[in-house]
Amino acid sequence: MAVPARLLPHTVTRVRPATSTDSYGNTTYDYGSSASRKDMAAWLQQNNRAEPLSNGRDPLDQVWLLVTNDKDIQGRDRVEWTDPAGNDVTFEVDGPPAPVFTPGGYHHTESTLRVVSG
């Protein structure tokens, strides 16, 4: 079982960072040319349309939902998408993705995304 293809109209690219260790022993993540990329069908929707202007928060903070039949999403991945206006948008997966099951088994994966700016 899975979400029918007609309900996944967006094509996104999952970006898995390359990792290395810096001189202090910390893991660093590289989302550039050494990262792996995979295209997948998805449904994207903006869940948080509020623009908080207090408490020093960025007014462009956005929370999105990603729904895909692909099981290979991880917490440090990024998602690249070109919106209907032709703007390239990069999201980061916020927290661990959630596999969704039915009595018949795995159905799809849902992930919370935040827009990466800068």
- Domains of the chain, first to last: 5-10+40-115 (2.40.30)
Structure tokens at 57: 């928060």
- What pLDDT sits at residue 62? 81
CB 112 within 8 A of CB 118: no
Average pLDDT of each block of 10 consecutive residues along the chain (118 residues)?
Answer: 94 96 93 95 87 61 92 95 94 95 95 85
pTM, entire model: 0.85
